[in-house]
Amino acid sequence: MANAIELHIRPSEQNPIVTQPEKRSQISNLSHPLPTTLQFLPLLPTIMLTIVTCLAFMGFVAWYSWRKTRGQLSSAGGYFLAGNGLTGLFIGGSLLLTNISTEQLIGQNGLTYAGNMTALAWEVWAVRGIILLAVLFLPMYLGGAFATMPTFLKSRYGEGTGRLVSSLLMFGYIFIWSPSVLYSGTLALMKALDFQGMTGLTQTQSIWVITWTIGIIGSIYAISGGLRAVAISDTLNGIGLLVIGCLLPIFGLMALGKKLGGGMGTAFNGITTTHTEKLNAIGTGHELDAIPISAVFTGLMVMAVFYWGTNQFIIQRALGAASLKEGQKGLLLSGFFKMLIPFMAMFPGLIAFHLFGPDLTPNDMAYPALIEATLPKPLLGLFIAVMLGAVFSTFNSLLNSSATMFAIDLYKPIFNPEADDKRLINVSKIFAVITAIVTLFLAPNLVHASDGVFIFVSKFAGFIAIPIAVLVLLGLFAKNLRIPPKAAQTVIVFHIATYYVLVWGLNAFGLSVTIHFMHVFSILFVIEASTLIVWSKISPHTEGFKYVHAPKVEMIPWKYSMLVSAMLLSCATLTYVFFSPVGFAYAEGIVAPSFPIYLGIAFALCLAFCLWAHQWLQPRYEGYVSRKYDTASMNRG
């Protein structure tokens, strides 16, 4: 294999892609001899070019973000919600990079390298959550004119419930998501750049150095500029991410084509005719499956509702929209961006499998190995910049959202009800600094997570996602239910205890739940929703919920919202036709002879669905929003 790709891989003393025994030796060896000056001299021009291009791009992003936010962050509305001035383009670009992080670039490519395309479900079916947020949740959020999701829960279920939810979310942001983002970003950069080899530091020392460097720079972005600075920097970094992310598979195909004695067409033919089982996205119990197809209709749906419909660091972008129309444009635009993510976060893993074989260890080496082997040196600095941008984006959003919730949902109502905007901003910045420091100490310790960072995040998210999704859905769509605050708080506590017992606690007694933990999500979701409904019937709250209509922006929906929503669902459906046993996963050719028939039927159904959504559903949706939010008197503009 080394001879076949020697034109694309650096000499073995610099290249991390080595034989399996050598690689295990390198991974187990935590110390490196200090590199000599003579070893670095041939690489000096490349290193300087990498540093200059990286700093130049990051410097431009920082300068442009500062220039656009200068003088606009003196109020809490400007700091937390961008002054309700975000356009659809900025919202869509910001959500793109907020959503994709090193956990996806590294983790999903690793899953595809070792398994098949079943991880596609995480990405393409996320459009269901995006659509729900755009057409159902967002009008309610903007119509009530509140800054955080816990604020809504507080108005629906009482002060105690709102604070409990805020505390639960902040716990997740500080102790789960922020450390995992920094840690996975650290591993990506450390592996891609061979940081240990260049510096002579041990693995532990390298993790601490890179984590603190990324964390400090990311904290400065978020703390100094608020949401608007984060949104603008996300958009600019998103452009760079799209460029590099789309170029890397092309460079990978070129390298694979040369290995196979041809060009990109030869490479594509090789991928679609050999090991075709890796191209199957329909999980039916095969050993390569990362997620069962049944989870698309159970736990994955619940997670989509939570992540896109109720998760503060996602919806905060939309809450800063200049109008309902701009918010819907940005959200639905991000749905099309979401369709590009498999090309960046999964396809490179397939290319790496065919280029290097199945022996890379660990599997997460696939994406860094492809970068090392195929990315032209002049683009390495830009790659580092956008990789850092992906880490910064998610870390910034988590930091900003936790600070927002602390200042608005905890500090002001509990400690200082008379606090003005200036005081709230200062308090949020102090809290963000403390949060950042805690995260910086926690992140490097995730190296001890026995199940890996991806499983760590996925499982621990279950503590937070399910009860919040239940409360928000019933709060928004079952307003006639008089759910007592005590019932909501009881369900949250019940969920935390029950979920722990089902996923981890039973192991202490030699027992285990054999179903996928995503199915546990859906089971608990049904139990908790049913509990609240029954409780409200047996012992209803003395006061009914009164929806306060207080929009601060124009509440006219986008006239293409239903059409674009239908197009997104159609794209997701057609994607599964391509990555199925009659599509690219067909064992005896590129596609099955019956593939055009299946594709034609699916396309015709999707086209009819899109026409129905635009012609029939759109006018009724606009009428619904007009009646519900009193927008009939507003003029379209």
pLDDT at 64: 66
Under 8 Å between Cβ of 557 and 620: no
Find the angle CA(467)-CA(457)-CA(158) to the nearest 5 degrees.
25
DSSP designation for 587: T
Residue 102 buriedness (CB in 10 A; 0-12 / 13-18 / 19+): buried
Is residue 403 assigned to a domain? yes
Please answer whether residues 73 and 310 qualify as being in contact, where contact means their C-beta atoms are separated by less than 8 angstroms.
Answer: no
Query: Could you tell me the mean pLDDT of each successive run of 10 residues in the chain, 637 residues long?
Result: 36 38 40 45 60 69 62 48 57 68 76 86 88 87 65 80 82 84 79 74 84 81 55 63 82 92 89 90 82 87 85 70 84 86 88 89 78 80 75 76 80 81 82 88 78 72 89 83 90 92 81 82 94 92 71 84 95 93 88 93 96 95 83 43
pLDDT of 238 reads 62
Same domain membership, residue 263 and residue 158: yes
HSE (side-chain half, CA atoms, 13 Å) at 253: 18
Flag whether 12 is in a domain: no
Among the listed residues 272, 281, 274, 271, the one whose alpha carbon sits nearest the alpha carbon of residue 116:
281
Structural domain that includes position 132: 20-60+83-556
Name the CA dihedral angle for 525, 482, 472, 460, rounded to a multiple of 10 degrees. -40
Q: Give yes or no: residues 307 and 364 share one domain.
A: yes
Question: Does residue 5 lie in a domain region?
Answer: no
Task: Name 236's Cβ contacts closer than 8 Å, sequence gap at least 6.
Answer: 60, 61, 64, 65
Same-domain pairing of 420 and 450: yes
Rounded-to-integer distance, Cα 328 and Cα 85, Å? 14
Q: Provide the angle, in degrees to the nearest 10, between the axes of the packed helices 203-259 and 380-405.
A: 130
Q: CA gyration radius for the chain? A: 25
Work out the number of other CB atoms within 10 angstroms of the CB of residue 496.
Answer: 16
Q: Which helix (H) or strand (E) holds 492?
A: helix 485-503
9, part of any domain: no
Same domain, 493 and 602: no
Contact 326, 85 (CB under 8 A): no
Instruction: Quote the CA–CA distance of 366 and 542 in Å, as a whole number.
Output: 58
Contact indicator for 377, 49 with CB cutoff of 8 Å? yes
> Which pLDDT belongs to residue 564?
95
Dihedral angle of Cα 266, 271, 272, 277, to the nearest 10 degrees: 160
- The count of C-alpha atoms lying within 13 angstroms of the C-alpha of 272, restricted to the half-sphere facing its C-beta, is 17
| CA angle in degrees (0–180, nearest 5) for 344-115-589 | 85
The C-alpha atoms of residue 152 and residue 146 are separated, in whole angstroms, by 7
Written as six digits, the tokens of 576 are 């599964």
Burial of 545 (0-12, 13-18, 19+ CB in 10 A): middle
Q: Which CATH number characterizes residue 423's domain? A: 1.20.1730.10
Question: The whole model's pTM is what?
Answer: 0.76
Angle between helices 88-99 and 203-259 in degrees, nearest 10: 100
Q: Are both 537 and 563 inside the same structural domain?
A: no
Domain boundary among 509, 527, 556: 556
**135 and 229 assigned to the same domain:** yes
If asked whether residues 563 and 552 sit together in one domain, one would say: no
- Are 487 and 623 part of one and the same domain? no
Contact status, residue 127 vs residue 338, Cβ threshold 8 Å? yes
Residues 6+ apart with CB under 8 A from 611: none
- Output phi, psi for 150, to 5 deg: -60, -25
Three-state SS letters, 345-370: HCHHHHHHHHHHCCCCCCHHHHHHHH
Q: How far is CA 17 from CA 5, 132, 338, 347, in A?
A: 11, 44, 30, 19
**Residue 80 pLDDT:** 45
Considering the domain boundaries, does residue 43 fall inside one? Answer: yes
User: CA-based diameter of the chain, in Å?
Assistant: 80
- The reply to whether 24 falls in a domain is yes
CB atoms within 10 A of CB 152: 22
Phi and psi at residue 321, to the nearest 5°? -70, 150
Domain boundary among 493, 526, 556: 556
Cα 149 from Cα 157, distance rounded (Å) = 12
Say yes or no: 585 and 547 in one domain. no
Residue 408 is assigned to a structural domain of this protein:
yes
Q: Which residue has the tokens 């606690």?
A: 505
- Domain boundary residue, one of 523, 556, 589: 556
Compute the Cα dihedral for 100, 102, 103, 105 and give only its sign: positive
Q: Find, among 514, 465, 72, the residue nearest to 292 by Cα.
A: 514
Are 502 and 597 in the same domain?
no
Q: Examine residue 11 and state whether it is found in any structural domain, yes or no.
A: no
Residues 548 and 375: their CA atoms lie apart, in Å, by: 54
Specify the number of domains making up the chain. 2
Closest alpha carbon to 494 in 482, 502, 504: 502
**Closest to 470 measured CA to CA, from 626, 614, 309, 588:** 309
Strand blocks (E) in 79-213: none
Distance (Å, whole) CA 327 – CA 331: 6
Residues 313, 212, single domain; the answer is yes
Instruction: Check whether residue 451 and residue 567 sit in a common domain.
Output: no
What CA–CA distance (Å, rounded) separates 264 from 254? Answer: 5
DSSP for 533-561 reads HHHHHHS--SS--------SSB----TTH
